[in-house]
A and B are shown apart, each in its own frame.
Chain A
Amino acid sequence: MSRTLIIVDTPPYGSWGGREALDMVFSLAAFDQEVSLLFLDAGVHWLRKGQAPEDIRQKSAERNLLAAPVFGVEALLADDGACQTYGLSEDRLLDGVTRVTADAALLAGFDHIAFAS
């Protein structure tokens, strides 16, 4: 089976691009395709614990992502360098996130790689 990696490099809430990226990921998972998410650059903010988007009347990205393993998403990956840039230490990251170095070796493990927007 082919393995897909969807990359999100924009923060949540400022645009709908990331949310629609998540829809793509969940669709692949629903069709039993192997899919993982990689958060790069400011995209790592998706993985921050304690998000409170109620005041801007948006759905919680955090809640969506916590459901990812239930829906069969293989892995939530966070670029380690980006986490450091934005001060996302281990205790500030959602549970179940794997910190990785987003390099050629990592990408080589996937058959399809796409930025969703």
Chain B
Amino acid sequence: MQEVTPQSYTLVITGAPYASQAPQTALEFARAARASGHRIKRVFLYGDGVQLASALTAPPSDESHWPRVWAEFLTSEGIPGIVCIASALRRGLVDENERKRHELTASNLRPPFIIAGLGEWVEAQRGDSRVLYFHGAR
């Protein structure tokens, strides 16, 4: 394989699993990038993309389980998976802290995803990593 200069990437996923191809395309990109020696600095879920971090997704057994597959990839590669708090709360995705704060009956954030603010995305924008967006269908 040709020598490449390692790049650092931030992936922003705004398309939901099972409604769009976005999480799947992003995962294929991330795997290819890692295989070529590039770095994935972080994955940021925004808008409908936050559905990827649900611990309650239960697709039919003959379909890919995108939240689980993504979570396993993030864990094995040690990549931070960050879920935008405003997008998450609107769509019913909460961790234990948010469950308590909003007095909800349950939490459903799948590890290793964590909830944080848009500041994490801003950090990526101003940093040296290339930011790639994976959008859903309109």
Contact = CB atoms under 8 A, between A and B. Distances in A.
Interface stretch (A25-33, A49-57, A81-89, A99-107): A25-33
A12 B71 CA distance: 33
A28 B46 contact: no
Given A115-B133, A117-B47, A20 B119 contact: no
Chain A interface SS verdict (over half): mixed
Contacts of A116: 14, 47
A28 B126 CA distance: 9
B122 A20 contact: no
B133 A31 contact: no
B86 interface: yes
Interface residues of B, number: 19
Contacts of A31: 119, 122, 126
Interface in A1-52: 2, 4, 10, 16-17, 20, 23-24, 27-28, 31, 33
Interface residues of A, number: 17
Contacts of B136: 117
B24 interface: no
A17 to B, nearest CB: 6
A24 B126 contact: no
Contact of B135 (A4, A23, A24, A115): A115
A117 B14 contact: yes
A4 B131 CA distance: 12
Contacts of B119: 27, 31
Contacts of B66: none
Given A10-B138, A117-B14, A20 B125 contact: no
Nearest to A29: B122
The 3 A-B pairs at the shortest CB distance, nearest first, are namely A27-B118, A31-B122, A20-B47
Interface of A: 2, 4, 10, 16-17, 20, 23-24, 27-28, 31, 33, 112, 114-117
